[in-house]
Structure 1
Amino acid sequence: MLNLAYSSASSFCHLQTEIFGTQVKPAIVHRDLKSKNILVKKDGTCCIADLGLAVKWFSDKNGVDVPPKTLVGTKRYMPPEVLDQSLNRNHFQSYLTADMYSFGLILWEVARRCVSEGIVEEYQLPYHDLVPTDPSCKDMREIVCSKKLRLSLPSRWSSDQCLRQMEKTHDRVLGTQPCFSTHSPASKENTCQNVRVTEHYNLIQQKISLAKAHPKRLSLVVRGHEEELEAFTNVDPEHSHASEQL
């Protein structure tokens, strides 16, 4: 589970990081992250596919290359700010945090299939117990925005060190509490952004910590992310809750 989670997180971080130099890469957000768009190679490493809805950030132009319509993607994986259309389409960080929510759902799918104490859940899609097989935007908006419901977590997660950390990540990334601490759409989005961007920062820090502890096992997964921390200059490291163990 660790290899899948951190390899996909590495791909996710690379996608959203702007690279300068002879081979310039703009910062990119996916806008349709889901488990079907994460490809797993034979060696267990992951890569992100299907960039048809992706948005690019041009730092020199200080603008986002995005069509007017923001209600795009796979409905089941849409974050609340996309479903209720409160997302600020002119702010790149809004798209970044929206991707972070979708990525949190993918981590939930992976963690459910992790065996602990001989127990493992059968595979299910996010919100399988709350919405129809092919939910509409209205269905998802009712559950995620109006009722503010989130994914159900197996009770066994709390007794396993690795899955317990996944449970904490789930609460922070998906906004079970902090994203809905106010009633203002703008305040709600800003709070979600702070929480998810900080968690993004934490993911990179965790990968670096694990690389130092297990260099042979994880070096290929985390290589180069020391530099990525510089991309998060608007995140206060003192508020980081990164753990040295996952």
Structure 2
Amino acid sequence: MTTTTTLTQPAPGSHRRSHVVADSITMLNRNLLHMVRYPGLSLFTILGPVVFLLLFVFVFGGTLGAGLPGVDAAGGRAAYLAYVIPGILLVTIAGTGGGTATTVAMDMTEGITARFRTMAISRAAVLAGHVLGNTIQAIIAVVLVLGVGLLVGFRSTAGPMEWLAAFGLVALIAFAITWLTVAMGMQTKSVETASNLPLVLLLLPFIGSGFVPTESMPAGLQWFAEYQPFTLFIETIRGLLLGTPLGWNSVLAVGWCIVIAVAGYVWSIVIYERKSVR
């Protein structure tokens, strides 16, 4: 009697997927180690928003807070602290995006990315490592800045589900912005340019509802401030943490995250493939 043993080979697609996942984890570890070994850039992305928070609350907060609807002069600073926290969190995410563009540009200009292209490493994993690593860094920075806000008196009306939703939205925004800044870092030809290009993202919370209501702005600027994505992000986080009306803000905010992430991904892949054939 003859017994036949059949060996089942893994499907080629599953092998490729496991290869991409393993390479992505390796590249993620590399970026996390880079964050630990070079803490100066990470520290700057946290200290900057903290300085903004303390400056706006304790220097300008009394006056700006008194100008908020339904707030009297006596409670101006406390009201402004609650109002400005969502904007500060978006400044934090945008600031970490600048660090992302800088590290990507360093890898590109120093030839590290070119070396990866000659190795048996998934091309998608090289970019995914940057994105996942810097998304984690952005979330850590947001948590630390929010902790400072709690220390100086910020109090939320959110329940556990609202906090969870706010955390999820912050992670999604950080993921989308990171893809965009990865593309910016790859597009530039020098580290200096890469560090300056994402500064436009830092301006958007200011030209929005992050620090003052959009109703206080001139008509043309008000239209831009109300419909640009950072205002939708800020208003959604504000609604989740403070109970202000959400309306369609949450749906539009998630939609903008998807658009930004897809645009950044496509832009990054196009640049990576173009430079790979040189």
TM-score (norm 2): 0.26
| RCO higher in structure (CA 8 A, sep ≥6) | 2
Normalized per residue, the structure richer in helix is 2
Name the larger-Rg structure.
2
